[in-house]
Amino acid sequence: MPKFAQHIISVKWIVFPIFILVLLFTNSIYSQQDAQYTQYMYNTVSVNPGYAGSRGHISVAALHRSQWVGLDGAPRTQTFNIHSPIGYRGVGLGLSIVNDQIGPTSETSFDVDFSYTIYTSVEGRLSFGLKGSANLLDVRFSELNQFAPDQTLQQNIDNRLTPNIGAGVYYHTNRFYAGLSVPRFLETSHFDESSLSTAKEQMNFYFITGYVWDLNPFLKFKPALLTKVTQGAPLQVDVSANFMMNEKFILGGAYRWDAAFSGMAGFQISNKFLIGIAYDKETTELGSARFNDGSFEVILRYDFITTKGNLKSPRFF
């Protein structure tokens, strides 16, 4: 049996039943709020705390995304994260800071991730993660041009603090990975439930997976998948395919179901330092040139590798 099939069989009894339960119990009507990433394959710890420490050393990443460039009030996201295994066997810790700006709203999240990893085989690792969050929300209603002024939207929201918790499970080998996570469990309301103006943060369920093939000694191929389920919002499916050439150059493309096509490129400057860029073009009417010039994303990642024993080449995820 091929190695890829063996990995699928070994993990499906852990991840697949949970994923089915997630789909069965998401039947209320709400909207999605979590930040969106095209290069999610290099930013996994933002959506799954089980990833914390899985790279085997201190890993630091910074990402900037400008969505729908040229459209007033379009989303902009900045992310910084650092995570590492610590001295106790199987334990990983991480810290993430995410700033997400959409129109008159700005939300900053401070996340602390904890993971515990068990060995399922010689190559397999199964990690269980917990995430604790503190979110600061600003809403500047004064910047809105209200056609019919709403008395409930007159007082700005300044640094409203709300806590949250999340969890995830993440399985990986040197070539395969799969994970299921809910970064935010608590459904926080920002207004009085009796008010006509109610904003409520909902749970987002993520499933992520990918596999790396060696096509020849100089070329690797990695397809990846991210699925996000949110109550009341369309199912989001991101499919990507990347090629790594000579352990240095990365080229690929992606498709966000019924939403956008993306092009991606990266350069592994060394075993420690990666830079990646992505460009999205909407397939909806919003993608027309008269509305915006597309979405841009750049990520920088640095790994503090101190030994080379287990790292024959850069990790492709």
Three-class secondary structure assignment of the chain: CCHHHHHHHHHHHHHHHHHHHHHHCCCCCCCCCCCCCCCHHHCHHHCCHHHCCCCCCEEEEEEEEECCCCCCCCCEEEEEEEEEECCCCCEEEEEEEEEEEECCEEEEEEEEEEEEEEECCCCCEEEEEEEEEEEEEEECHHHCCCCCCCHHHCCCEEEEEEEEEEEEEEEECCCEEEEEEECCCCCCECCCCCCCCCCECCCEEEEEEEECEEEECCEEEEEEEEEEEECCCCCEEEEEEEEEECCCEEEEEEEECCCEEEEEEEEECCCCEEEEEEEEEECCHHHCCCCCCCEEEEEEEEEECCCCCCCCCCCCC
Report whether pLDDT(154) > 80. Answer: no
Tell the CATH topology of 46-304.
Porin (2.40.160)
* Residue 140: predicted pLDDT: 76
**pLDDT-based confidence at 74, cuts 50/70/90?**
confident
**pLDDT-based confidence at 200, cuts 50/70/90?**
low
Q: Map out the domains of the chain as residue ranges.
A: 46-304
* Residue 306: predicted pLDDT: 73
Strand pairing of 125-139 and 105-119? antiparallel
Q: Name which of 80, 87, 28, 25 is nearest 53 in CA terms.
A: 87
* Residue 216: predicted pLDDT: 95
**pLDDT-based confidence at 63, cuts 50/70/90?**
very high
Please give the torsion angle defined by the CA atoms of residues 7, 10, 13 and 16, in that order, rounded to the nearest 10 degrees: -10
How many whole angstroms separate alpha carbon 292 and alpha carbon 54? 38
Within a 13 Å sphere around the CA of 78, how many CA atoms are in the beta-carbon half? 5
Beta bridge partners of 17: none
Q: Which two tokens stand for residue 237?
A: 């499916």
**Which is higher by pLDDT, 151 or 171?**
171
Residue-wise pLDDT tens digits, 264-299: 999 999 989 999 999 999 888 776 666 788 899 999
How many whole angstroms separate alpha carbon 135 and alpha carbon 54? 25
Size of the chain, expressed as the number of residues it contains: 317
**pLDDT-based confidence at 167, cuts 50/70/90?**
very high
Q: How many CB atoms lie within 10 A of CB 79?
A: 21
How many whole angstroms separate alpha carbon 212 and alpha carbon 316? 7
**Which is higher by pLDDT, 105 or 241?**
241
